[in-house]
Amino acid sequence: MRHLVSYPDERGQSSGKPNRCFDLRENDDYLAWRTEKLAGYPETVDDLRVAIADLNAVTPAETEQITALCRKANMAIYQTKTLPVDQLRPALGRFATHFGLCRSEAHRSAEADGLVPIEVATKGGRHGFIPYTDKPLSWHTDGYYNKPADRIRAVLMHCARPAAQGGANHLFDPEIAYIRLRDENPDYIKALSHRRAMTIPGFVDQDGSFREEAPGPVFSVDRFTGALQMRYSARKRNIVWRQDSLTTEAVAFLNHVLEHDPLVFKVNLQAGEGLICNNVLHNRTAFTDHTEPGKTRLLFRARYKDRVLNT
């Protein structure tokens, strides 16, 4: 496990801000951070909601509410008026930029504005991939298969049209996951911080390009920000876990937490609602879609290399 105490910024300069709370040798710092983290933590999904009058002109009060929630829980759910898609897409871009989300991922399904339509795809390049079906999605963080240089630090997801039934998301703060694991057994954190704790095997992408295997830790500390990072997938296939008993125990305990922890929040986004977050753990239930054209489930998602500003 790496024991980082200061972090260079993207120009290679040290931030000079030691952050020892994620160092297993510094238990006092961890306990102080843990106390602050849990004090006043949201208890229900409604505690995460913020009303936004206009996505194009977020007020200082609305900004502070969302920033405070992302600082405390790494996520906020905003509610705003519905907009036609041609107005919604540029509004989402301005909303993201307002919160410091500027470096969007060059995702193969993203359009020029960085947004990916999440809907059932019956043909084309997205057809057959689980996110573009009505099937459930297991627990994961976005971009868990990416190389470190392409790490996803934040996600914006906005509902334009909900499903007829189902399609709910469960959300869980990675910092709470870290607390549960470290409180249970600090060696679980050590195991999941190993540089080959979780490996995505190499494979041939749909466009014929070869994606190299991607080994890496589940938990790490971002050397640019000092923030805790998590990459995880509960998929059973195409995931190779390090073969030792402690890693196996840690993964089993994490899966138990994800199924039973009281701070797992469930939300079924409705039209005009969205999630802005520092890449929290999430899943999706199966859904039944509308059959009438123009009413089928449609969400827009963008993924960023930045964290939410001031978090």
Q: What is the pLDDT of residue 123?
A: 65
Predicted confidence band of residue 13 (pLDDT cuts 50, 70, 90): very low
Provide mean pLDDT across the span 118-122: 84
Q: What is the pLDDT of residue 14?
A: 36
- CA 50, CA 269: separation in Å to the nearest integer? 13
Q: What is the pLDDT of residue 207?
A: 60
pLDDT at position 147 over 90? no
CB-based burial of residue 259 (10 Å sphere; 0-12 exposed, 13-18 middle, 19+ buried)?
Answer: exposed
Q: What is the pLDDT of residue 172?
A: 98
**Domains in the chain with CATH codes:** 27-304 (3.60.130.10)
Q: What percent of the chain has pLDDT over 90?
A: 75
- State the Cα torsion 40-42-44-48 to the nearest 10°: 140
Q: What is the pLDDT of residue 214?
A: 87
pLDDT at position 222 over 80? yes
Instruction: With CA atoms as reference, report the closest residue to 300 among 53, 86, 92, 74.
Output: 92
Q: What is the pLDDT of residue 186?
A: 98
Provide mean pLDDT across the span 122-141: 80
Provide mean pLDDT across the span 63-90: 97
Q: What percent of the chain has pLDDT over 70?
A: 88
For residue 219, give the 3-state DSSP assignment.
strand
The distance in angstroms from the start CA to the end CA of the chain is 25
Handedness of CA 24, 26, 31, 32 (dihedral sign): negative
Provide mean pLDDT across the span 61-69: 98
What residues have CB less than 8 Å from 120, skipping those under 6 apart? 132, 133, 134, 289, 296, 297
Choose from 193-207, 214-228, 261-275 the range with maximum mean pLDDT. Answer: 261-275
Where do we find the tokens 């509960």? 234
- CA 113, CA 85: separation in Å to the nearest integer? 13
- CA 217, CA 299: separation in Å to the nearest integer? 30
Predicted confidence band of residue 227 (pLDDT cuts 50, 70, 90): very high
**Is residue 235 a contact partner of residue 138, using CB atoms and an 8 Å limit?**
yes
Q: What is the pLDDT of residue 202?
A: 82
Q: What is the pLDDT of residue 110?
A: 56
**Is residue 182 a contact partner of residue 29, using CB atoms and an 8 Å limit?**
no
Flag the least confident range among 97-101, 120-124, 166-170.
120-124
Flag the least confident range among 64-78, 174-188, 217-231.
217-231
Flag the least confident range among 8-22, 64-78, 83-97, 277-291.
8-22
